[in-house]
Amino acid sequence: MFYRETGQFKSSYAADMAIFPIRQDRIALWVVLAAAFVAVPLLDFFQVWPFGGEYILRAILIPFLILSLAAIGLNILTGYCGQLSLGSGAFMAIGAYSTYKFCTGVHIPLELFTISIPPLPVLPSILLGALMSAFVGILFGIPSLRIKGLYLAVATLAAQFFFDWVFIRVKWFTNYTSSGSVAAPDLVFFGFTVTTPIHRYLLCLVFVSIFALLAKNLVRGNIGRQWMATRDMDIAAELMGIRPLYAKLSAFALSSFVMGVAGALWAFVYLGAWEPLAFNIDRSFQILFMVIIGGLGSILGSFLGAAFILVLPILLDQVPHALGVPVSVETVSLLVFVVTGALICWLLIVEPRGFARLWSTGKEKLRLWPYPY
């Protein structure tokens, strides 16, 4: 009844091609942004939290933002360009460890000359680290020009296992710490040191907002159409002049760049100190599930999927407690397995485009409500 576009006329194609052509959607977006940028800091300032303390920020909002970013990265590659990747964790790890190296200084003595980069500030380190991830992404994307589908999935598994091993075995990346664990340096941005949870949250929020907007612009522009064309019918796309080399490798590069940023944030902002296990194959599957559940080929879906995957274990932990049924931590973790798996299958059967599609179907119904057509 209230959600409809009657009376909203577009007088230019530019207005028709806006992200949210319908006014109600635009209002909703501003409300969400205002909540994220203003309401959450205020709530934190006055210490009014539903769960008390910093739990929501630390355990839910910060990981939610970072994993949403990673999911956007994978969605570019798998959802938009149709290249299944089981190696997201590897690209996050490359982002994290490269950022760490740039932050603490790079010193590579070679035969003829020595590569030596002094320690860089955090922000350029993150961007350079993400560039390294993009570079490796292109390398592992090259097989995609010759092989497809499941074969490619195995190629990305090779990236996953290879880099797991590299960051465990090659001590150079961890600056030769005895435990193999690495601690992030102070997060200094333009002279300001980020320490408190709310600042960490805002930092992530800024990164995620910017990358989500850039990603949205890409997927609805020319390159996005090239990716989707390659995904839907690669031969026809090539016969229309779309270069598979360019389309696929750009998807690999951008996707790994975004995942590299997400990895750096995960390590530096969320974990603070980490070991290679933080980016193992479980992480890759977690992000893949976010994308499938949230919606392949949808930026909004990346957020929905991340929210769901993060909230599910908390729900499965809290709900039985609230009902007075004691459930052990181990059972909860196994239950998460079962429920996630079941949900994946269920979604693939009823709605292969995930929550995002359910959302837009709902909106379509709402537009017509109370009439059926």
Partner 1 sequence: MIAFGQFLEVLVSGLLAGVLYSLVALGFVLIFKASGVFNFAQGAMVLLAGLALVRSLDFMVAKGLPFWAAIIIALLFAALIMAITAWLVERFVLGPLINQDGLTLFMSTIGVTFMIEGGAQMLFGSDVYPLRLFPSDAWFLFESSFPGGILVSKIDVWGGMIAAVLVVGLALFFQKTKTGRALRAVADDHAAAQSVGISLNWIWFIVWLVAGLVALVAATVWGTKLGVQFSITFLALKALPVLIIGGFTSVPGAIVGGLIIGAGEKIAEAYLGPFIGGGIEYWFAYVLALVVLMARPQGLFGERIIERI
Partner 2 sequence: MRAPDGPPVTAGDVLLSIDNVSLSFGGVKAVSGVSFDIRKGEIRAIIGPNGAGKTSMLNIINGFYHPQEGVITYKGEARAKMRPHDAADGGIARTFQNVALFRGMTALDNIMAGRTLKMRRNMFWQMLRVGPALAEEVEHRHRVEEIIDFLKIQEIRRTPVSRLPYGLQKRVELGRALAMEPELLLLDEPMAGMNIEEKEDMSRFILDVNDHYGTTIALIEHDMGVVMDLSDRVVVLDHGIKIADGTPNEVKSNQAVIDAYLGVAH
Burial status of residue 344 (CB atoms within 10 A of its CB: 0-12, 13-18, 19 or more): middle
Question: Among 36-44, 56-64, 153-161, 235-243, which window interacts with partner 2 (CB under 8 A)?
Answer: 235-243
218 lies in the binding site for partner 2 (CB under 8 A): yes
Report the distance separating Cα 361 and Cα 314, nearest Å: 28
Question: Among 101-109, 151-159, 172-180, 246-254, which window interacts with partner 1 (CB under 8 A)?
Answer: 151-159
331 lies in the binding site for partner 1 (CB under 8 A): yes
Q: Which residues have a Cβ under 8 Å from the Cβ of 305 and sit 6 or more positions away?
A: 71, 289, 290, 291, 292, 293, 294, 295, 354, 355
The DSSP line for 97-127 is: HHHHHHHH-EEEE-SS-EEEEPPPPHHHHHH
335 lies in the binding site for partner 1 (CB under 8 A): yes
Q: In the complex, what is the shortest distance from the CB of residue 292 to partner 1, in angstroms, rounded to a whole number?
A: 6
* Omega before 370 within 30 of 0, i.e. cis: yes
Q: How far is CA 185 from the centre of its chain?
A: 23
232 lies in the binding site for partner 2 (CB under 8 A): yes
Nearer to partner 2 among residue 53 and residue 221 (C-beta): 221
Alpha helices, DSSP H, located in the chain: 13-16, 23-34, 40-45, 55, 62-74, 88-104, 122-141, 149-169, 197-219, 222-232, 234-239, 244-265, 281-294, 299-322, 329-350, 354-368
Nearer to partner 2 among residue 14 and residue 322 (C-beta): 14
172 lies in the binding site for partner 1 (CB under 8 A): no
Question: Among 98-106, 139-147, 173-181, 227-235, which window interacts with partner 2 (CB under 8 A)?
Answer: 227-235
Figure out which of the listed residues 147, 188, 206, 366 binds partner 1, where binding follows CB under 8 A: 147
Figure out which of the listed residues 42, 145, 233, 342 binds partner 2, where binding follows CB under 8 A: 233
Report the distance separating Cα 147 and Cα 152, nearest Å: 6
Nearer to partner 2 among residue 200 and residue 231 (C-beta): 231
Contact 305, 75 (CB under 8 A): no
Report the distance separating Cα 139 and Cα 89, nearest Å: 16
Report the distance separating Cα 371 and Cα 373, nearest Å: 6
Q: 3-class SS at 173?
A: helix
Q: In the complex, what is the shortest distance from the CB of residue 334 to partner 1, in angstroms, rounded to a whole number?
A: 4
361 lies in the binding site for partner 2 (CB under 8 A): no
Figure out which of the listed residues 238, 275, 317, 351 binds partner 2, where binding follows CB under 8 A: 238
Instruction: Provide the binding-site residues for partner 1, judged by CB under 8 A.
Output: 82, 84, 143, 146-147, 149-151, 153-155, 157-158, 161-162, 164-165, 168-170, 235-236, 239, 281, 285, 288, 292, 330-331, 334-338, 340-345, 348-349, 352
Instruction: Provide the binding-site residues for partner 2, judged by CB under 8 A.
Output: 12-14, 16-17, 214, 217-218, 221-223, 225-226, 228-229, 231-233, 235-243, 250, 254, 297
